[in-house]
Structure 1
Amino acid sequence: MAGILYVLRTGCQWNAVPREYGSGKTLHRYFQRWTRAGVFKKLWKSGLEEYAEVQGIDWKWQAANGAITKSPLGGQATGANPTDRGKCGTKRSVLVEAPGVPIALEVGPAQRHDVKLLAATLEAVVIEQPDPNEQKQHLSLDKAYAGEPAQQLAEEKGYEVHVPDKANAKKKRKRKGGRKKARRWVVEVTHSWLNRFRRLLVRWEKKTSNYLS
């Protein structure tokens, strides 16, 4: 496992892993085997369950957002990045709880709109989620999610949705007395934290399952 974490952190090729961690081919073989067995998702779920028991997951304020990363080798769930001259990339859509701990993750092509990934992201929560009828849950989204499709989708899941107002709606909001301040920045910090792991910053895995692991 230490060798796999070394690849995750440094982004190096499997055959460039220091010998102290063992053979790169052996490490990659175990990584593939554990991915197929769902080991890494189970570890994530187990970590969240322990976090919920010790600290408590704060479901009240959640936030979702997508981030595009380069994918030079292409592969599953990759596509032309409209913000990088059409170079191949992948979009990582993450849902976090209030302090920013990831509770759901979905991957799609770079050109796929955030709204189209939202449904799969909200369905991908890896730990049991409280009933929104018993515990109110807010969902903070940025302007990319503005419009009825995302609003309706999230409301059907029981969320109270918060999306930045359009310029022509600001005065109307003030007349109504305003509303709670959303916490969109939290998920952006989480994306920044994930990008410190160089194997996530640039995607070299062709299989979506490997990249998710």
Structure 2
Amino acid sequence: MGCHRLRVPDRQVLDGIFFVLRTGCQWKALSATGICSSSTAHSRFQAWAQDGVFARLWNEALQDYEDLIGLDFDWMALDGSLHKAPLGGKKNPAQPHGPRQRRRQAQSLD
């Protein structure tokens, strides 16, 4: 006879995690969807990622795809870069905070 809340089912939390990953919404916005609370989903995501759950899911999915359709590595390629884009532009210099700074400048020294 405890006073703690019941544990949210793993499948429901996984649905919430996939929703965040698929839509790109913030973790805090997940609570508004009604799937599960953002804190539950985020804490379980961190625990599962550390335990390698998502890596195992990925391997299972690849194996299932290989069994059903087959993977053809002859046409696949991997590309990546860790360099800044050549036309990425420059960083913006610090900008004054408009009204706040103007008010300070307009004050008299009396």
Query: TM range, normalised to the smaller chain?
Result: 0.5 to 0.7
Q: Which amino acid aligns with 1:7?
A: V
- 1:81 maps to what in 2? 84
- Quick check: which one's helix share is greater? 2
CA distance in 2: counterparts of 1:15 and 1:7, whole angstroms? 10
- 1:45 maps to what in 2? 59
RMSD: 2.2
Q: From the CA coordinates, give the structure whose radius of gyration is larger.
A: 2
1:118-162 residue CA offsets vs partner (Å, 9 max, x unmatched)? xxxxxxxxxxxxxxxxxxxxxxxxxxxxxxxxxxxxxxxxxxxxx
- Quick check: which one's strand share is greater? 1
- Structure 1 unaligned regions, length at least 5: 68-78, 88-213
- 1:57 maps to what in 2? 71
User: What TM-score, normalized by structure 2, do the two folds share?
Assistant: 0.60
Runs of 4+ in 1 over 4 A off after TM superposition: none
CA distance in 1: counterparts of 2:73 and 2:55, whole angstroms? 20
User: How many residues get paired?
Assistant: 76
Q: Which amino acid aligns with 1:26?
A: T
- 2:29 maps to what in 1? 16
Q: Secondary structure of the equivalent of 1:29?
A: helix
User: What TM-score, normalized by structure 1, do the two folds share?
Assistant: 0.32
Q: Which amino acid aligns with 2:71?
A: I
- Structure 2 unaligned regions, length at least 5: 1-13, 92-110
- 1:35 maps to what in 2? 49
1:164-197 residue CA offsets vs partner (Å, 9 max, x unmatched)? xxxxxxxxxxxxxxxxxxxxxxxxxxxxxxxxxx
Query: Deviation at 1:19?
Result: 4.4
